[in-house]
Each structure stands twice: as C-alpha cells, then as structure tokens.
Amino acid sequence: MGSAARMDFSKLGHTCVIGLQWGDEGKGKIVDLLMEHFDLSVRYSGGANAGHTVVIGGDKFALHQLPSGILRKNVLAIIAVGAVLDPGVLLGEIASLRQRGIDITPERLRISDRAHVVFPYHRREDMLAEQTARAGDKLGTTARGIGPCYADKVSRHWGVRTCDLLRPDHLRERLATIVAYKNAVFRSAYESREVFDAQVLADEYLALGEQLRPYICDTTALLHREMKAGRRVLFEGAQGSLLDIDHGTYPYVTSSSAAGGGVSSGAGVPPSVIQSSLGVVKAYSTRVGAGPFPTELADVTGDTIRTRGHEFGTTTGRPRRCGWFDAVAASYAAMLAGPTHLAILHLDTLSGFAEIDVCVAYRRKGRLLNEFPADAYDFSEIEPVYETAPGWAADLGACRSVGDLPREARDYVTLISRRLNVPVGIIGVGPGREQTIFVEEL
C-alpha cells in the first residue's frame, strides 16, 4: 500500500464500521478507538445477542446493547430504530458501567422510540425452537429472543416498540392479545404448559419503560439535527456481513441487516451520508454456532488459534469455531460493504506458526470457484484452495508501527489487502487500545 492509501482518521466524515466475516471481528475495539475523532456513536442493528468487547488499561468491558462508543467521554450514543431492545439487559449494563465510574445519562444515551422490544416470550420461543429442531436444522442461536422479536416486527401483528412502553392502556391491551396468541402457540407447537401472564408482563415492562423514559426519543430526527450542526457520526454494526439476513449463509444467519446496506434503514439516514467505511476482519476466521465454515480447523491448529485468541463468545461464552482466513468469503463481504479501508485484528494470534494458509478459492466437484455460493447447503461439497504464506515467531504485542512488524507479518497483511482489494488502515496486535497500529505505509 502506497501513500495514496493513507487514512487520516481525524478528518474522516460520517463513517461506518462493518464486520466482514461471521461476527466477532473486533468491531467494538475499532469503534472505541475511532470515537476520539467522532461526536456520535450509533448502533443501528442487532440486539443483546451481540457482544462487543473493549479493553481499556487492562480492564475489559463487555457490551451487548450499548454502543461501544459509550465508553468515551463527551460522546452521544444512540440505539437506533433498526436495533431491538431488551430493557432489562440495557438497564443492567447502565448500572454495571455506573459501578465502574462511567455515568450514563440521557445527555449521553438516546434510544429510538421506534425500536422494537424483546419480551420473555421471545426468549422462550427462541429456546424452544432450537431445542425441538432436528440436529441438522439447529441454528446455534444465542437464545436471547432476537430472531423472534424481529419476526414479530415484520409480521406487524405482534410487535411492540419502545414508545408503547410509555402508553400504559395501549400496552396492556396489546399484550393481552399478543400473550394469548403466544401461549396458544407454545401449547400447540411445543406442548409447553407454562403460560405467560399479560398483566404481570405489562406491569414489569411499564416499570422498565418509566426507567427508560428520559432516554427515549425520535433518534432519527435527533441524528439529522446533530449532523446538520456539523457533528460527526460513527455508525456501529453488529454481527458480521456473512450473517446478514439477506446476503449471509441463510438460514444460518442473524435476523437483521448486518452488511453495509443496513446502516441506512437501521439508522434512518440516506446512503449518501456515509462518507467512508472501515471493514473489520480478523487475521483468521471464526464462527459461533451452526453454518458453513469452509476453512474450519477441527484439529490442534484450530485449538491453538482458539486458545491464543481467547475465542470464546462474549454473549454466551461458547468456544468459537476457528480456521484460516477465508479471502473468498471476506471478498464477498467487502463487495457488499464497499469499505474504504480495512482493519485487520488479532494479527498477534498467528505468531508462532511456521506457515499460515489463506483460502483463495473453493473447489466443488473438481471445479474451481472464485465466488461465494448463495446456497448454504452447497458448502457441504466445497473444499478450500489455499495459498500458503510463511509465518513468524516474534510476539507482536509490543509493535506500535508497521516497521516494528516482522517482514513475514507485513507480507501477510499485504496478502489479505491484495486479495480483498482494499487498503489497510489499522492493524491490531492485541486487545488493548495501545496495541494498535495506524497504517501510513505498508
């Protein structure tokens, strides 16, 4: 990468951070890093199934509902209309941060009055559907109720929005109808004898709504006012592009628009607002739950990557599936997202391997494929085609510039950049804020 690819983060316009794999790429760290140059942090999709980890001075913060930018002072964080809200989880996160000296006030956090709300019946539906699915049909859901909540939103009959939590008579009437329907479904479809009480739920969620009332507003109008006033916005995606409901490995996907196109509808801004975007990848691949994973390493190498990279889910604690970097899948995600630069994280995890493989094509029934298949079931017949790069032995944790990296590590980063045809802006060599290289030359 030459001088034309230099990225001045202090001068970026409205920017989006997008995962280019199956989630868990490290978006939380990138958002936290970049927020010193931005005024607003906007979470535009997903729910409490997302887990963003930020490490500051050795202290780890695990965020599920709150935008990662909330950890920076003087930042206005927004949970926008495209996200779904679990009020109890959110209030728990707010209380936890306050105990650690980070005060979350309505001046620092706003929640869309149009965001849909997760209820206990969503979580039960999530759990029962997964428990009763045949072995090959299990999705590996986090059981946080996110998928059923989005399904109710799209159905239009059963969805409840945050604004409804502020209307007692309306919410009680809505829940009476919804809970009767949900109980009937649980009895008939799952033979579940446990029922929900609509009035108990209404009392609980009206109380939660009162606690959230100071934070709830029309975030779309607020966002446009702030942009008109010259404030810069960092849009924060959840999950990864390969889990996008439309473009991911369906049905093994999330229930929201995790690829680049989701920011416009999820935040309520026209596409022309986004002036730059940062595509985040790990230096290898991981996946949680079921679904295609061509480069998965179910061996000692995969175990080594998992151990070194601390690859366990932020939300569930489940061990992540690990494998070599899949340039075919990441190139497809980059095509969808159109990132102006890459952030390649966890480069330090690969230290110590004599050789490192990168998947550069697929082979199916003897035929070479360079494109990502649309049908998840086609992956059962796919074998990865690898290009092998030399590894390096040095620990990268103390590297603070490109020049500090071993030549083999620099060459590996260049290989990924060349395969995705996107210049590199950031290299991560550890979980801490300081363990970050801002690339000027490579």
Name the residues annotated as catalytic: 24, 52
Name the nearest CA neighbour of 263 among 251, 253, 276: 276
Name the nearest CA neighbour of 266 among 255, 278, 281, 279: 255
- What tokens appear for 441 in the block? 């030359």
Q: What is the dihedral of CA 337, 430, 311, 256, to 10 degrees?
A: -20
How many CA atoms, within 13 angstroms, populate the side-chain half-sphere of residue 11? 3
Name the nearest CA neighbour of 49 among 252, 310, 254: 254
- What tokens appear for 110 in the block? 């706003």
Interstrand relation of 285-287 and 321-323 (parallel, antiparallel or unpaired): antiparallel
CA angle in degrees (0–180, nearest 5) for 82-76-7: 85
Largest Cα span, the chain: 66
Distance CA 322, CA 324 (A): 7
Q: Does residue 212 contact residue 111 with C-beta atoms inside 8 Å? A: yes
Q: What is the DSSP letter of 320?
A: P
Residue type at position 178: I
Q: Does residue 233 contact residue 223 with C-beta atoms inside 8 Å? A: yes
**Strands across the sheet containing 15-19:** 216-217, 109-112, 76-79, 40-43, 233-236, 15-19, 276-282, 341-345, 424-428, 436-438
Alpha-carbon Rg for the chain, nearest whole angstrom, is: 22
SS3 assignment, position 45 = coil
Look at the alpha carbons of 82, 147, 89, 153 in this order and tell me if their dihedral is positive or negative. positive
Q: How many CB atoms lie within 10 A of CB 305?
A: 24
Distance CA 20, CA 37 (A): 23
* Residue count (the chain): 442
SS3 assignment, position 161 = strand
Q: DSSP characters for 14-39?
A: SEEEEE-SSS-SSHHHHHHHHGGG-S
Q: How many CB atoms lie within 10 A of CB 176?
A: 14
